[in-house]
């Protein structure tokens, strides 16, 4: 397949002494570049938003870009090439580019690692992109100020109430004994006093 560059060229018209219509003149193109494509599609671009180093549990989006007219992107994880995500019917980003967005909702040891992407245009797959290394960043877990731990005082309160009940019963028993002794005591002391005399 031949493709002509869009770079401006210098045209020099040659004629046998007279100026005629440009279409009928033999023309020498100076500086025209002709590109030959070998049938391969160019490599896609790959990047991560917000970046390739992500805190554990945070989301990341991997973006794969290719030329206009791409109808399918594939994101592969290197560790397991049978693990991939496909995206079809990609919206065009301008007239020259297509971009697919692959969301990883929570980065972990399983999802971290090298990624690459490819696209399908027509019935041909492109070369795979460069590797994008998704790295896991361990951030210290923020310590939230916590209120003092609430304790369950039920058992302790039951013990206290039981002890108070026992003490109350002892006091009632002492008062009952004292009352009983006082009733008996006036008769008992008088009898004892008469006996001594």
Q: How does DSSP classify residue 22? A: G
User: Cis (ω within 30 of 0) for the bond into 50?
Assistant: yes
pLDDT one-digit tens code per residue, 110-144: 999 999 999 999 889 999 999 999 999 876 545 55
Q: Domains for the chain: give ranges and CATH numbers.
A: 2-36 (no CATH), 45-137 (2.60.40.10)
Q: What is the 3-state secondary structure (H, E, C) of 21-35?
A: CHHHCCEEEECCCEE
More confident residue, 95 or 18: 95
Q: Going by C-beta distance under 8 Å and a sequence separation of 6 or more, which residues neighbour residue 3?
A: 34, 35, 37
Q: How does DSSP classify residue 43? A: P
Report the distance separating Cα 66 and Cα 139, nearest Å. Answer: 34
Beta-ladder partners of 72: 88, 120
Please tell me the predicted confidence (pLDDT) of residue 87: 87
pTM of this prediction exceeds 0.75: no
Q: Going by C-beta distance under 8 Å and a sequence separation of 6 or more, which residues neighbour residue 23?
A: none
The whole-number average pLDDT for the span 140-164 is 72
More confident residue, 167 or 10: 167
User: How many Cα neighbours within 13 Å face the side chain of 27?
Assistant: 13
Angle, vertex CA 67, rays to CA 61 and CA 120, nearest 5: 80
Beta-ladder partners of 48: 62
* Contact (Cβ atoms closer than 8 angstroms) between residue 86 and residue 64: no
Q: DSSP alpha helices (H): ranges in 6-100?
A: none
Confidence tier at 153 by pLDDT (50, 70, 90): confident
């Amino acid at each position: 397949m031949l493709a002509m560059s869009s770079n401006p060229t210098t045209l020099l018209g040659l004629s046998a002494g007279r100026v005629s219509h440009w279409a009928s003149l033999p023309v020498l193109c100076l500086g025209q570049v002709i590109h030959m494509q070998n049938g391969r599609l160019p490599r896609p671009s790959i990047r991560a938003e917000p970046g390739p180093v992500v805190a554990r549990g945070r989301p990341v989006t991997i973006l794969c870009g290719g030329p206009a007219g791409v109808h399918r992107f594939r994101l592969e994880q290197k560790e397991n090439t049978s693990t991939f995500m496909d995206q079809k019917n990609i919206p065009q980003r301008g007239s020259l580019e297509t971009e697919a967005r692959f969301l990883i909702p929570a980065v972990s040891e399983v999802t971290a690692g090298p990624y690459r992407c490819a696209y399908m245009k027509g019935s041909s797959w492109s070369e795979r992109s460069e590797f994008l290394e998704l790295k896991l960043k361990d951030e210290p877990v923020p310590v939230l100020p916590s209120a003092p731990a609430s304790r369950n005082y039920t058992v302790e309160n039951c013990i206290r109430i039981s002890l108070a009940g026992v003490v109350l019963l002892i006091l009632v028993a002492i008062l009952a004994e004292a009352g009983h002794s006082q009733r008996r005591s006036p008769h008992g002391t008088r009898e004892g006093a008469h006996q001594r005399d």
